[in-house]
Each structure stands twice: as C-alpha cells, then as structure tokens.
Chains A and B, each alone.
Chain A
Amino acid sequence: MPAFIISRVLQALPVMLAVALISFAMFAYVGDPVAIMLGQDYTQAQRDALIRDLGLDQPFFVQFGTFLLNAVQGEFGLSYRLSRPVIELIAERAPATLELALTAAFLALLVGVPMGIYTGLYRNSWLSRFFLTFSLIGVSLPTFLIGILLILCFSVWLGWLPSFGRGDTVQLGWWSTGFLTASGLKALILPSITLGLFQMTLIMRLVRAEMLEVLRTDYIKFARARGLTNRAVNFGHALKNTLVPVITITGLQLGAIIAFAIVTETVFQWPGMGLLFIQSVGAADIPVMAAYLILIAALFVTINLIVDLLYFAVDPRLRVGGAKGH
C-alpha cells in the first residue's frame, strides 16, 4: 500500500511540474509586473532595483527553480493588486470556498445517490420520470442562470434568503466558518444548491445507469435466486457494485466543484478563492493567479489519490498481493 501511494505521488509529479511551468510562464510573459507595481511615476534606478528584488534579471531556469522552491514552501510572493503575501490572501479565502464546495458536494451526494437508486429500481414510476426530467434541467441550464433564478425567486420575490455574501462567520484559529451561525448557514443555501445542482443530476444519472447495469448481471439474479431479501439484493449487492464508478466521478467532480466555484462565487459575491481569482484576472494580478492554479492542481492530484485508495477499500480484485492461498 505505501508503495502504491509513493508510485501515485511520483506519477503526479510531472502534472504538478507542468502546471507550475504554466503558472510561471504567466509571470515571465504575461503583462509587466514591474510596470504594474511601480505605477505611473518611477525612476530607472527604482525600476532596476525592483527587477533585481524580484529576481527578474536571472536566467529562465534559475527563475523557475526559485519559483518552484518558493511554491513548495507556500511562498508565492506579493499580490500586485493588494501588496500582501499571496498565501495570506488565499488562506483567508480558502475556508469560504472549501465550505461552499463541500456543502455542494455533500448535497449532490445526499440527494443524487438516493434519487439514482430510486430511478434505477423503479424505472417506470411516475416519480422516476419526474426526477429524470428535472435532472435534464439541472444538466442543461448554465450555473450562472440557475444562481440568478434562485436569487430572483428566494431573495427578491420571497425574501427568505440572502442573495450575496457569507453571512456572519466565526473564527476558529485561522479558519473562518459560516457553519456555526444562523446567517452563515442561510447564506450557504442558495450558492451550494447552485454549485451542486449539476453534480447532483450527474450523480443521479450515473447511479441510475450503474444500478440498471448491475441489476442485469448474473450475480444479482443469482442473489435473488438464493432468496435473499430485496433489501440485501438492492443495497447489499447491487449498490455496492455501483460504488467504484460513483466514487471516481464524485472525486473528480469535487475537484470540478472547487474549480468551477468561480462562477457561483461571482454570482453570489461569495468571498472565496474563486472570487479572488476573478478579481485578480481583472487586475492582471499574476502571483495570485499562479498560486490559485497550482493550488487547484494540487487539489485534483490529492483527490485522485484518495479516489484510488477508496477503490482498494471497495474492490477486492484490485488488492494486488492481498490474495490468499493461491
């Protein structure tokens, strides 16, 4: 098992390096950080000093090496826009994004999986057809439109829920959480539905398709022929066999949720990393953009590793070397 983890981490290294290179290339070739940082009036001496301070006079690979070394230590330099350490900015914003993304993913699973099971087991029921039609809407409507419609309905017309912001937060060490206040929880509802709706319908359709497939297999027929209860057949035998693809997709989608939180955060003015990223793009704030990209890539890699480990937990056929008495 440790060998497996190590090999997976090694496989992820080239990916991370490529992303780092892209991020770094943005520094080197996009915009002129010196001009941005100096503003309108500066002397040539000031300019030279800044170039030396930023290490921009070094050869490409030295610069890239320094960039990597710093990145590994979480050191991404100063934001051009806010003149504060990037890592600080991100640490401030990460809790908002992570709480939103996790709530959205949780919602997607909590609603999507049972809906998928139901529509798989009762293919022709009225409710199944309703779910499927509903899921079509979830898949086809763009996220920002869903967000705006929800705001229109629940904030503007009904006035039940806030249309922007995170509500009140509570500070737990460096982590600011909205889970502990009523206004924080209320503020979470609309954005997490907006963000999770697509994944919810995706998971529902996936679980349904997998259930239908598994229910046709011989081992399910045989489980019925052995007289097991419906419950044991459907949940013990069928559902467990749908888990591997569901874990894969859910894992990948969690990454996607975090990455695509940008749109939702913009619609709801959610003070997370996505909003920070969009604001940075507007100001050509390269260090923040670079750090964000690398962070998201690292997140994807980590999630993939966790997904692979979960496979092992679910499917004995993958446990190489775990076989007994051959």
Chain B
Amino acid sequence: MSNTQPLLEVRNLRVEFPTRRGTLVALDDVSFEIQPGEVLGVVGESGAGKSMTGAAIIGLLEPPGRIAGGQILLNGRRIDNLPYKEMRTVRGREIGAIFQDPLTTLNPLYTVGRQLVETMTTHLPIGPGEARKKAIEWLELVGIPAAAQRIDSYPHEFSGGMRQRVVIALALCAEPKLIVADEPTTALDVSIQAQVIALLKTLAREKGTSMMLVTHDMGVIAETADRVAVMYAGRIAEIGAVRQVVKHPSHPYTIGLMGSIPPITHRLERMQQIEGSMPRLSAIPRGCAYNPRCPQVFARCREERPELTPAGETRASCWLYDAESEQQVLRAGAHA
C-alpha cells in the first residue's frame, strides 16, 4: 500500500435500522479505502449492502437507518458526523453520486440545463451565465449531440442512455474528487451499457476522479476497476486488486462467485449462482455469515466472526486464513 493519504477511508462502518422487532444491522465492520484516481468496484448479491454503503458515504441513509459506529474520512476529514448543512456542501462538490435509474433520477419539471446550472451555481463561484456555458460544455463532454440546443430540453425528451449521460454530467459538473456510482448501467439497454461505462471510465481518468462503482457485472469490474470489494450480508468478504480477486480468489464466497477455476481470458458476464441464498438481516447466523452455504465450513466458523486478514494476494474475512485455525483444520482433517 502506498504512503499517500487515501481520498476516502471507511473504518469499521456500522449501519443500523431500528425496527419494532429489534435493531437490524445492515452494515457491520465495513472498512476499505479509495486512493486518489482509483476505481473501486463493489460486487455482491442483492441485499448485500452495496447501496447502503454508498448512501452512508454521501450521508443520505434513509431514516431510520443511521451510522451506529465507525468513521468515514474524506481527505483525512471525518464526514460521517457532519451537521446536515456542512454535509450538503460535501455532496455534489466533493462526492458526486450516480443512481441506477436515469428515468427517475431527473426532475421531470425542469430542463436539464436548469438542473446543471443550479448544481454549479450552488457549489462553484460562478454566475448563471457562465454556468450555462459550462453546462453546454458538460453536455458535449458526456456525448449529447447538439448540446447547445438540447440544454433547454426536458428529461422526458431524452432516451434512457442519454438521460444517464445527463446524470453523469450532473454528478461531475461541480468537479467532485469522488464519484459513488450505484449500478449506473443496470437500468439501461444492454447495447448502451458498455458506452456509458466507457464514458464514465474516460471522464474519471481525465479528471482524476476516484470512483466507487457498484455493479453486478464482473465484466465491467474487470475492465474498469483497479480494486474490487466483495460484499456479503453487510460485510466485506474479500477485497483486493481486481486481477487477484478474479484470478486467485481466497474467500470461499468469492470462489463461488467466480466459478470454480475461472479461465484467465474468460469474461464473466453475470455472477455464478451459488446454492442457497443470502440470509435476511434479521437472521444473520452466528460466526461467519456465509457458514450455512460454505463448502469449507468448520467448527470455528459457527462460533466466531472472522475479520479481514491477508489471504493470499488479497484480504478476506475467512477463518481459513487465520494462523490459529489452520491448526484446527489440520487437526480436524487428521481426525477424519
């Protein structure tokens, strides 16, 4: 790991939802960092907590969800406990967000130009006139043809793909250092998904923007991300460089996701199905959350919760990579 300060640092993040039937823990002990200019891919089954992580970072957890523990640091400054007003100046300006469905992300009653202009004038020291010029530039940059005319169009006058380009322009126009993109292409036509991902990747590289990219598409991760975090039941199962996680996964869950032994050239379109399903938040098993589905489960997995530890070329939260339990596994194997 380099000595430079990470742009984003998430430390032992815990998110809870108080409900009538007790407190649900949606995220538990989530830690990772994103370096300047880096793209971190985040994968995992539906309900793993990917969106929740993104929402916690931009400070927009839906009540009654709340950060119950841990810290989030942006450039070394804590942002998880900022008052709403201060956090507002972080959102958009320092952290941009891209949502899943471009058809519902834009306000239908305002022109795209107005929405771009208001975002820029909110955060940047420029007037409406200059903001409008910049808005046209942004629309050109994200590939909207005839941007100077289209700026006064309403969202419903654009196709889904074009709307997501507008959303990207909106997320980037106040020049944030970090983008949280939550499945930015899932709602789009398959034929344009690649274009939009390519656009995001190019823009992030040009502007030196870091990105947290949530997706179900391992192909996208392999092409776009520098590192990848695999989430399971509100925790990080494995995190590491993309090549390592794809080629030499350590965590049994990741191994299951990638298929038994993924050929190096094979591009996985969709994640492999694994027997069983992820537990509900209200029924996360004791010990390792993956233990009911894990082919390599052993006694300790049902008792104690593993933490992220170095595992081969990556880091994984799995007792198989714990020095102490290696002895146990060996002993168990010897008995059998």
Contact = CB atoms under 8 A, between A and B. Distances in A.
A221 interface: yes
A228 B105 contact: no
A325 B153 contact: yes
A314 B60 contact: no
A227 interface: yes
Contacts of B84: 230
A125 B98 CA distance: 32
Interface stretch (B23-31, B89-97, B277-285): B89-97
Interface residues of B, number: 37
A217 B58 contact: no
A314 B107 CA distance: 13
B90 A227 contact: yes
B109 interface: yes
A325 B104 contact: no
A317 B60 CA distance: 29
Interface in B103-124: 104-111, 118-119, 122-123
Which of A226, A315, A316, A317 has the most B CB atoms < 10 Å from its CB?
A226
A221 B170 CA distance: 13
B154 interface: yes
Majority SS at the chain B contact face? mixed
Majority SS at the chain A contact face? helix
Contacts of A228: 88, 92, 118-119, 122
Nearest to A224: B60
Contacts of B226: none
B149 interface: yes
B174 interface: yes
Contacts of A324: 149-150, 152-153, 157
B156 A225 contact: no
Interface in A210-240: 217-219, 221-230, 232, 236-237, 240
A227 B91 contact: yes
Contacts of B110: 237
B99 interface: yes
A169 interface: no
B167 interface: yes
Interface of A: 217-219, 221-230, 232, 236-237, 240-241, 314-317, 323-326
Given A219-B106, A324-B157, 12 more contacts: A218-B105, A224-B91, A225-B60, A225-B91, A226-B92, A226-B119, A227-B174, A228-B118, A228-B119, A237-B107, A241-B107, A315-B109
Q: When A and B form their complex, which 4 residue pairs have the shortest distance between CB atoms, in order from nearest?
A: A227-B92, A227-B91, A225-B97, A218-B104
